[in-house]
């Protein structure tokens, strides 16, 4: 996958960055090279600030493993308030995701992880509701991870699987076309 080309498509077509826009990027550590390209492209497109929000699956797994029982039913108000602040400030959000293939080894751990997700979802529900009203621009995009590549191509070595998934996504995302930004614009216009 051509990261700079994908970043341009995300910034120009996915979120349509304009002069003065505030941009927030949610991502996992494997996506940092793409995030760097998105940041460059956002500033080139006139963004006034790009804020990064790292969401590490290993940290979340550690939280599920080791969080004390008294804290499992609580999501920090400060994190909710931070999201409200970003929303009210007008941040446009780019969320980079990938399928998760984490296998939780015990029923207790699965229950704890599910409870943590439920508690966060409940705390963030009012923010998500406002977000779905499209007051601010947002886009969710996929980017490959080694775990995803290994799940799709289990018979290949990790680096070969990752390369192959990159190639497939590049095709799907029109990144190998002469002008990917125009191709996406043409497709979006045709869909309406």
**CATH numbers and ranges of domains, the chain:** 3-143 (3.40.1830.10)
Residue 189 has a pLDDT of 56
Crossing angle of helices 57-66 and 107-132, rounded to 10°:
130
Give yes or no for a contact between 29 and 53, defined as CB atoms under 8 angstroms apart.
Answer: no
Q: Which residues, 6+ apart, have CB-to-CB distance to 41 below 8 Å?
A: 4, 7, 8, 10, 11, 12, 17
Residue 167 has a pLDDT of 94
**pTM of the model as a whole:** 0.89
Residue 109 has a pLDDT of 84
- Phi, psi (deg, nearest 5) at residue 25: -120, 120
Residue 111 has a pLDDT of 87
Crossing angle of helices 107-132 and 77-89, rounded to 10°:
30
Residue 192 has a pLDDT of 44
Residue 100 has a pLDDT of 79
C-alpha atoms less than 13 angstroms from C-alpha of 169 in its C-beta half-sphere: 20
* Count of other CB atoms within 10 angstroms of residue 54: 13
Three-class DSSP category at 138: strand
Residue 190 has a pLDDT of 54
Query: Per-10-residue mean pLDDT for the chain, 192 residues long?
Result: 91 96 97 98 99 93 91 95 95 93 76 92 92 91 94 96 94 88 71 47
């Amino acid at each position: 996958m051509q990261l700079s080309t994908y970043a341009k498509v995300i910034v120009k077509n996915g979120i349509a960055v304009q002069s003065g826009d505030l941009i927030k990027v949610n991502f996992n550590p494997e996506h940092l090279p793409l995030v760097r390209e998105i940041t460059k492209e956002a500033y080139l497109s006139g963004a006034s600030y790009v804020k990064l929000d790292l969401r590490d699956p290993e940290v979340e797994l550690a939280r599920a493993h080791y969080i004390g029982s008294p804290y499992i039913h609580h999501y920090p108000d400060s994190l909710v308030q931070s999201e409200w602040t970003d929303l009210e400030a007008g941040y446009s959000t780019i969320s980079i995701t990938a399928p998760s293939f984490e296998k939780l080894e015990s029923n207790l751990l699965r229950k704890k992880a599910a409870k943590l997700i439920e508690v966060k979802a409940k705390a963030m529900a009012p923010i998500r509701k406002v977000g779905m009203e499209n007051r601010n621009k947002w886009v969710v995009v996929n980017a490959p991870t080694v775990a995803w590549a290994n799940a799709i191509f289990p018979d290949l070595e990790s680096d070969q699987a990752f390369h192959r998934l990159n190639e497939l996504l590049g095709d799907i995302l029109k990144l190998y076309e002469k002008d990917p930004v125009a191709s996406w614009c043409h497709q979006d216009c045709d869909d309406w």
